[in-house]
Amino acid sequence: MSGSKMKLGNYINGKWKDSLREEFLIVVDKYTQEPIAKLPMACESDIEEAIESSVKGFNELRSWSAGKRSEHLLKLYNALKNRQEETVNIIIQEAGKPRSYAEAEFKRCLATIENAVSEAKRFSGEMIPIDFDGGTGKTAFTKRFPIGPILCITPFNFPLNLVLHKVAPALAVGCSVIVKPAPQAPLSAILLANLLEEVGYPAGIANILNCNVPMAEKMVKDQRLSMVSFTGSEKVGWYIKSICGTKKIALELGGNAAVIVDKGTDLKTIAKTVANGAFLYSGQICISTQRIYVLESVFEEFKKNLVEEIKNLNMGDPKDNKTTVGPLIEKIHLQRIKEWVKEAQNEGAEVLIGGEVEDADHNIFQPTLMTKTKSPMKVMDEEAFGPIAIIEKVESFDKAIEKVNASKFGLQAGVFTNDFENVKKSHERLEVAGVIINNVPGFRIDSMPYGGIKMSGLGREGIKYAMEEMSEPRLLVY
């Protein structure tokens, strides 16, 4: 953070607030482990002020025209565009994200806001056909209205873009927000608060603060807030649902995303794509490739190609443009991944490559590919959120679909095939919210509907779809 002019603190009711008590959050560089910022933690009076101001902010924002909402988002877009170097460096430091991937996140952030600029002006309801029977001669249509203040709880792995996937649609549709960013990587959200202030959003429309779990739970339970939008772990997400009361909730949770590799495909090219899809950012993406199912006739060739591609991945300092596999977010996860690998080995799994800590001082674990895995090994059944993938052979495409579906999760799946019958079969039968053909499940464009089924969540993100979640249709008949 040296050299940055960014204001630090909790941004509440249009003001920058320090802590009223001696409770602070120390943010560290995830590679060097050196402190880079000291942030105050919000106390109970801060939480109350944030909620009260968010209600007032909503009452102002809901009265804005679509054009005014769009214009302010365009100002935000331009303000962020002018802070590229600072933003990318913050993402690299606080999230440990490799430079090329941090630069890609910055570009996606701009795309997210740009999409919100457009959607604010074209978002609408629908005409309802009722001109028959008892409705003859009548006209009906819906108009969508913003639902109210929204609590946004965000994860570390996309510390700015996943904040914007909640904030941008909320501001586009007319909802105020309170953002609680991940404690591991809150500085990107604080930068956003700086930009919101810079472009002139009125007090209360956006509050961005850091707080402990009891304070977060207080906000979750407070019925003055109309919705919770949460992205994070399965365990925390479903707990939030159990305590949020009658308010609306959207959950973007975990996964253990799968890939199917069919016969008759370019195995070498696919291996390169899958290696990157599994181990980019040390697999700390909820749609990282974790399970790989390969048709029996091409299994050995693909396995060999994949191992070779994994050997070519660069580990190390995320500031280096060549790095693909950087640090895990915290030491506890380095130990967890090591334990999962050893546990699977003890139960008969085989490590094809990797399997060890590469650099304990910098929290780097080797990209690890395993085979001969089975349920209930954690590497197969749970979300690794680390540099682990498994590869198994299947005797048929139908069997591959069964294997993919044998999971409690259901975010996205990747299918590599040149057989259109298998494309149709994948769409019809795979129990996931998104099927990506001839690419890894980590493919995401920020305007598309994104979310999960089963234990992977409720609702959809993507600007238009998030705006639908954050609004209610009101019917008019005359």
Sign of CA dihedral 48, 51, 57, 63: negative
What's the rounded Cα separation, in Å, for the pair 309 and 68? Answer: 50
Element (DSSP H or E) covering residue 345: helix 331-346
Asked about 198 being catalytic, the answer comes back as no
What's the rounded Cα separation, in Å, for the pair 393 and 201? Answer: 55
Q: Where are the beta strands (DSSP E) in 173-273?
A: 177-180, 206-208, 227-231, 248-252, 258-261
Residue 22, burial from CB neighbour count under 10 angstroms (0-12, 13-18, 19+) = exposed
Element (DSSP H or E) covering residue 230: strand 227-231
Identify the bridge partners of residue 410 per DSSP, sorted by sequence position.
453
- φ/ψ of 281, rounded to 5, equals 55, 35
Asked about 211 being catalytic, the answer comes back as no
What's the rounded Cα separation, in Å, for the pair 25 and 44? Answer: 16
What's the rounded Cα separation, in Å, for the pair 231 and 248? Answer: 15
User: Would you tell me how many other CB atoms lie within 10 Å of the CB of residue 334?
Assistant: 22
Q: Which of 43, 82, 431 is nearest to 255 (CA)?
A: 431
- Plot region of 93 (φ>0 → left; ψ -120 to 50 → alpha; else → beta): alpha
What's the rounded Cα separation, in Å, for the pair 478 and 412? Answer: 43
Q: In three state form, how does the secondary structure of 145-188 look?
A: EECCCEEEECCCCCCCHHHHHHHHHHHHHCCCEEEECCCCCCHH
In the numeric block, the tokens 């464009």 are attached to: 445
Tell me the three state secondary structure of residue 216. helix
In the numeric block, the tokens 């890894």 are attached to: 440
Catalytic choice (286, 309, 392, 469): 286
Contact 468, 172 (CB under 8 A): no
Q: What is the CA radius of gyration of the chain?
A: 23
Q: Per the structure block, which two tokens stand in for 159?
A: 């510390």
Instruction: Tell me the residue length of the chain.
Output: 478
* Residue partners of 426: CB distance under 8 A and separation at least 6: 260, 401, 413, 415, 417, 435, 437
Catalytic choice (105, 252, 309, 392): 252
Angle between helices 66-81 and 99-122 (to 10 degrees): 160
Catalytic residues: 252, 286
